[in-house]
């Protein structure tokens, strides 16, 4: 499943393509949404907002399209009238005079009045978005030590969207490696220095992944770029201590870590 940085990059791409331009065609695959197609023609997209792994498309007429890619959904930017190749099912088409944004294969899609979108069940239960610039390490530390999370193992907490929205499996592994923590650790058992390192890693790892757009090589002119330190590197030496990176399964998901330095 795409994680927060990938969803935000997709939002950036489609926002650049169609935001602010009058919609010349709107099409929905689901019958319950089709009555709104004519209402949206002639409006424009104000902005695309990400909430963790959900995308909110805000229209100028006061409506908002909620979509969640889940496992197989993907947005594509194409030419007007162009049909997507492959076997993916078209779910949404938002077309302007020169570009079209297509949502393929997603099934969790609904339309809301913008002032009511916060009542969406998913949005009501998730935590703050990891890419929200207003989210600070102090706020992350507070959430870690809140009654809901202080006694829980980090392996599960970092996948729980009610903790911080947008985190996922590869980010979980990289965050714990950066903070030198093991997956079974609980926030209440950490000292303040460890909690500070964890809070900093939660934000810095996710934001670096977004900012570098998935590039994985070091570049002396542009500084450090995001690349996996442990995720997908089972059997290879740890870049920090030289120990061997191991792979296991946690919360039904593959997990990579270095037992030698993540004690």
Just list the catalytic residues.
Answer: 2-3, 53, 253
Q: How far apart are CA 36 and CA 113, in angstroms?
A: 12
């Amino acid at each position: 499943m795409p994680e927060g940085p990938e969803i935000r990059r997709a939002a950036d791409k489609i926002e650049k393509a169609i935001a602010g331009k009058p919609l010349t065609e709107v099409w929905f695959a689901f019958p319950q949404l089709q009555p709104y197609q004519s209402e949206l023609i002639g409006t424009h997209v104000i902005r695309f907002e990400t909430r963790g792994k959900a995308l909110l498309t805000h229209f100028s007429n006061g409506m908002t399209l909620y979509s969640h890619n889940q496992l197989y959904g993907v947005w594509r930017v194409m030419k007007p009238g162009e049909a997507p190749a492959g076997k993916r099912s078209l779910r949404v088409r938002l077309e302007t005079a020169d570009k079209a944004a297509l949502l393929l294969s997603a099934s969790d899609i609904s339309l809301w009045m913008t002032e009511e979108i916060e009542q969406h069940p998913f949005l009501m239960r998730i935590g703050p978005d990891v890419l929200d610039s207003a989210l600070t390490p102090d706020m992350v530390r507070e959430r870690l030590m809140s009654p809901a999370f202080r006694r829980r193992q980090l392996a599960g907490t970092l996948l729980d969207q009610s903790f911080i929205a947008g985190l996922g499996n590869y980010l979980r592994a990289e965050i714990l490696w950066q903070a030198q923590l093991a997956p079974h650790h609980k926030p209440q058992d950490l000292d303040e220095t460890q909690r500070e390192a964890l809070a900093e890693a939660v934000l810095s790892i996710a934001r670096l992944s977004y900012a570098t757009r998935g590039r994985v090589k070091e570049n002396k002119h542009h500084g450090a770029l995001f690349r996996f330190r442990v995720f997908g590197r089972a059997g290879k030496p740890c870049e920090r201590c030289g120990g061997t990176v191991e792979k296991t399964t946690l919360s039904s998901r593959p997990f990579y870590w270095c037992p030698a330095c993540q004690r």
